[in-house]
Amino acid sequence: MVFTHLDPLAASIFSLMAIVSLLFAFIMLGSRWLDNYLYAFAAESWVIAGLSASVGYYAGYPELYLVAILTGLFRGLLLPYLLWRIIKRLDVNRELHEILRPSSALVVGALAVVFALVVAYRIGSELGLAGTVAVLALTVMLSMKLIGFLMLTVRHEAISHILGLLVLENGIFLGAQILVPGMPLLIELVILFDLLIVVACFGVLVRYLISQVGSTSSLQLKRLVG
């Protein structure tokens, strides 16, 4: 329960970082180039690493420094590198058949944020936390969740799906840093490693997809129905 006795500077820093990472999610949503997704994801991860460190500093959880370092290394460097290798293996560098144009996707994303805000606000006032950074954290967490699902729905490239999943995870991770900084270290570490395995598995699967289906677009995956 950090957020009730937080000095205003810390609260502003947390809010700023949460908002910036939400913006990066929007950049991913609004672009159709796979490279841009990747840079935005890496940047978002670095911001979240910064957030971990500053929560660790202001709220007095030294173990969060470790989490911050590992987040930066894993989510900020290693995962983007693995994804970059996957992208290099593909012969596409942009979304070819999006259901929603990026501009429309941005509008839907904005609506998702409004919805998340309403939900978070309700929960916040129920708990008597209205106006604290907790409401913002909940908003960003839920919005990134919704934006991730939006990316999964309106995009077809395998790499967009992987990044959509990673945005889902980033959203939860970001929210968890602010809401439950005391979450046992073990769990955070295992989740980080788990992500790494997930991306490795995706890499292998993408290779199979290319060799067996001849495409990495989910539009080609329509054999199994009914």
Which residue in 76, 141, 147, 163 binds other proteins (CB under 8 A)? 141
Binding to other proteins by residue 5, rule CB under 8 A? Answer: no
CA distances from 75 to 6, 23, 70, 80, 180 (A): 28, 17, 8, 7, 20
Q: Is 11 left (phi over 0), alpha (psi -120 to 50) or beta?
A: alpha
What are the start-end ranges of the H helices in the chain? 8-30, 34-59, 63-71, 79-89, 102-126, 133-154, 158-179, 185-212
Tokens of 142: 């839920």
The least CB distance from residue 61 to other proteins, in Å, is 8
Amino acid identity at 210: I
Range 6-45, binding other proteins (CB under 8 A): none
Paired with 33 in beta bridges are 94
Amino acid identity at 159: I
Binding to other proteins by residue 181, rule CB under 8 A? Answer: yes
Q: Identify which range of 30-38, 42-50, 91-99, 202-210 contacts other proteins by CB under 8 A.
A: 202-210
Torsion angle in degrees (nearest 10) through CA of 47, 169, 36, 114: -80
Binding letters toward other proteins, positions 145-164, x by CB under 8 A: x--xx--x-----x--x--x
Which residue in 62, 88, 103, 208 binds other proteins (CB under 8 A)? 208
Tokens of 156: 């077809």
Nearer to other proteins, 15 or 103 (CB): 15
CA angle 101, 106, 109 (to 5 degrees): 125
The least CB distance from residue 223 to other proteins, in Å, is 5
Binding to other proteins by residue 172, rule CB under 8 A? Answer: yes
Q: Identify which range of 7-15, 72-80, 110-118, 212-220 contacts other proteins by CB under 8 A.
A: 212-220
Which residue in 135, 198, 203, 219 binds other proteins (CB under 8 A)? 198
Residues at the site binding other proteins, with contacts judged by CB under 8 A: 1-2, 122-123, 126-127, 141, 145, 148-149, 152, 158, 161, 164-165, 168-169, 172, 175-176, 179-184, 186-187, 190-191, 194, 197-198, 201-202, 204-205, 208-209, 212-213, 218, 221, 223-224, 226
